[in-house]
C-alpha cells in the first residue's frame, strides 16, 4: 500500500524498491555516527519482506533496533510509524502497549 505521508513510498513490486539487511542498516548507522549523526530514523514499507520474501514480524523490528543500539549505544533511534506499531504488535501477537514497551526496551528513543 502506498504511504500518503512520504513521497518516497514504494511497493515491493516497484523497480525502485529495495531491501537492506540488518547488517547493512547497522553498518550505515555506525557510519552516520562516525560522521557526527546523533540520530537515525528507522521506517519501512508494509508489509515487510526480506530479499528472500520472508515476512518481517514485530520481533524483526525489535531485533533491528537492538542491533543498532548494540553497535552504536549513544545513537538515538527514532523508529516505528503508527502503522508499523500496529503491524508489529499484530505480527508479534502482542498488545500495542506491550509492543511499544518492548520497542523502548530494545532501544527506540522516540516514535
Average pLDDT of the chain to the nearest whole number: 87
Number of domains in the chain: 1
What is the C-alpha to C-alpha distance for residues 88 and 100, in angstroms, rounded to an integer?
9
Is the residue at 2 inside a domain? no
- Per DSSP bridges, beta strands 39-42 and 108-110 are unpaired
pLDDT digits (tens, 9 = 90+) for 58-91: 999 999 999 999 999 999 999 998 889 999 999 9
Domain that holds residue 61: 22-110
pTM: 0.85
1 pLDDT more than 60: no
Is the residue at 10 inside a domain? no
Is the residue at 86 inside a domain? yes
Share of the chain above pLDDT 70, in %: 76
50 pLDDT more than 80: no
The cell for 39 is 540520530
Is the residue at 4 inside a domain? no
Is the residue at 68 inside a domain? yes
The cell for 104 is 523502548
Amino acid at each position: 500500500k502506498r504511504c500518503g505521508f512520504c513521497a518516497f513510498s514504494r511497493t515491493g513490486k516497484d523497480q525502485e524498491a529495495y531491501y537492506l539487511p540488518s547488517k547493512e542498516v547497522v553498518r550505515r548507522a555506525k557510519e552516520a555516527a562516525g560522521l557526527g549523526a546523533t540520530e537515525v530514523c528507522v521506517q519501512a514499507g508494509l508489509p515487510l519482506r526480506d530479499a528472500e520474501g520472508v515476512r518481517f514480524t514485530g520481533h524483526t523490528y525489535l531485533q533491528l533496533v537492538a542491533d543498532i543500539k548494540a553497535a552504536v549505544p549513544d545513537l538515538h533511534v527514532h523508529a516505528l510509524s503508527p502503522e508499523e506499531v500496529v503491524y508489529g504488535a499484530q505480527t508479534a501477537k502482542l498488545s500495542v502497549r506491550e509492543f511499544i514497551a518492548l520497542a523502548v526496551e530494545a532501544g527506540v528513543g522516540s516514535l
